């Protein structure tokens, strides 16, 4: 957890009000007390941050948790931490590299072979504002991991999810999707000068569009899918932004960030809520900002864009 220095002027009697304000901004704890005893849950990117905390919350509620991560050493350590903290020994680590279509197919094949049911899929893993990297298959990294990797994974597991109905898919997007635009002429930034922020926003818009189109295709199956913005959290996701290494950010903006930025534990509450809440049974195709359903950006509700993105995504990943 990052520690920020707070000026003396913000201390004293102001602290009580600041803490209350911080709690309000953060959105609070999952209001549902529902358990998921015996249900199988997959959480991608679960070795750290929001993913790890989501896995921990769902393990506490009795789930059979599968942590799907690229770094197996960190994944095994996270699984051990969660087993120790929750006393739930049905928490296991599996290798999944969302920047590799081969790895995704191998992971899905193993799940289909070894797991009788999959009740919840939390597509949590993400990269944010990284340099101009490409995946193993040549996709721009943020689109490749944040959207295309989860697009393929979800489609490969759909039959298992349908057989396990009622089941749920939770896609982590971001408020940044409102600044996104799907450029069908250059999805992978091969023609334009690379803009890492714009690429991130495009990838998170793609997540919401994928959610909308998938919900239409899943009507009547007992499988729901929703997207969410978990809030801005203190996690490793922002490691490429330079925020934590900047003296200006740490000392000048630090107090503001202390008020506005969530802990991973609080940021995991919306994912937990969408995974377990009984009142959300049958709710699908929606976008949640924290614990509340909200309207996404206008482009995220464009049916034709969603259909076109689905077709192009399917072509790119070889479905």
Read off the pLDDT of residues 190-203 as tens digits, 9 standing for 90 and up.
999 999 999 999 99
Residues contacting 313, CB < 8 A, separation 6+: 147, 148, 151, 206, 210
The predicted pLDDT at position 27 comes to 64
Q: Of 164 and 21, which is predicted with more confidence?
A: 164
In whole angstroms, give the CA distance from residue 96 to residue 47.
11
Residues contacting 162, CB < 8 A, separation 6+: 221, 222, 223
Q: What is the pLDDT of residues 69-104, one digit of tens each?
A: 999 999 999 999 999 999 999 999 999 999 999 999
Residue 7 pLDDT grade (very low, low, confident, very high; cuts 50, 70, 90):
very low
In whole angstroms, give the CA distance from residue 42 to residue 248.
39
DSSP letter string over 13-62?
THHHHHHHHHHHHH--S-------TT-EEEEETTTSHHHHHHHHHHHHTT
Annotated catalytic residue 200: yes
- 42-59: average pLDDT: 97
Tokens of 185: 């002429």
Contact criterion met (CB below 8 Å) for 184 and 291:
no
> Which of 194, 200, 273, 287 is the catalytic position?
200
Least confident of 166-170, 251-255, 277-281: 251-255
- 131-140: average pLDDT: 96
Residue 249 pLDDT grade (very low, low, confident, very high; cuts 50, 70, 90):
very low
Residues contacting 184, CB < 8 A, separation 6+: 308, 309, 312
Q: 31-317: what CATH class?
A: alpha beta
Q: What is the pLDDT of residues 102-125, one digit of tens each?
A: 999 999 999 999 999 999 999 999
30, pLDDT greater than 70 = yes
253, pLDDT greater than 50 = no
Tokens of 175: 């408020």
Would you give the distance in Å from CA 10 to the centre of its chain? 33
Residue 158 CA neighbour count, 13 Å, CB half? 15
In whole angstroms, give the CA distance from residue 155 to residue 196.
27
Q: Where are the domains of the chain?
A: 31-317
Residues contacting 19, CB < 8 A, separation 6+: none
Strand order in the sheet with 40-44: 91-95, 64-69, 40-44, 120-123, 167-172, 223-229, 287-289, 292-294
């Amino acid at each position: 957890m990052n520690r920020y220095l707070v000026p003396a002027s913000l201390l004293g009697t102001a602290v009580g009000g600041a803490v209350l304000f911080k709690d309000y901004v953060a959105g609070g704890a999952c209001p549902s007390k529902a358990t998921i005893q015996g249900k199988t849950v997959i959480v991608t990117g679960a070795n750290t941050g929001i993913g790890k905390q989501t896995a921990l919350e769902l393990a506490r509620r009795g789930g059979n948790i599968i942590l799907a991560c690229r770094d197996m050493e960190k994944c095994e350590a996270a699984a051990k931490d969660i087993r120790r903290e929750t006393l739930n020994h049905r928490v296991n680590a599996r290798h999944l590299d969302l920047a590799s279509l081969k790895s995704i197919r191998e992971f899905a094949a193993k799940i289909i072979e070894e797991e009788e049911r999959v009740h919840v899929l939390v597509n949590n893993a993400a990269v944010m504002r990284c340099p101009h990297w490409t995946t193993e298959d040549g996709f721009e990294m943020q689109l490749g991991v944040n959207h295309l990797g989860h697009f393929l994974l979800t489609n490969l597991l759909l039959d298992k999810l349908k057989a396990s109905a009622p089941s749920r898919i939770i896609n982590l997007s971001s408020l940044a999707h409102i600044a996104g635009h799907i450029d069908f002429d250059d999805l992978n930034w091969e023609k334009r000068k690379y803009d890492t922020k714009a690429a991130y926003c495009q990838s998170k818009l793609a997540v919401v569009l994928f959610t909308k189109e998938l919900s239409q295709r899943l009507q009547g199956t007992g499988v729901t899918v929703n997207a969410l913005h978990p809030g801005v959290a203190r996690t490793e996701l922002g490691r490429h932004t330079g925020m934590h290494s900047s003296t200006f950010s740490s000392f000048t903006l630090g107090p503001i960030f202390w008020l506005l930025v969530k802990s991973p534990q609080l940021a995991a509450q919306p994912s937990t809520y969408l995974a377990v809440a009984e009142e959300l049974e049958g709710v699908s195709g929606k976008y949640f900002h924290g614990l509340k359903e909200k309207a996404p950006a206008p482009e995220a509700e464009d049916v034709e864009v969603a259909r076109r993105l689905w077709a192009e995504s399917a072509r790119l990943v070889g479905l």
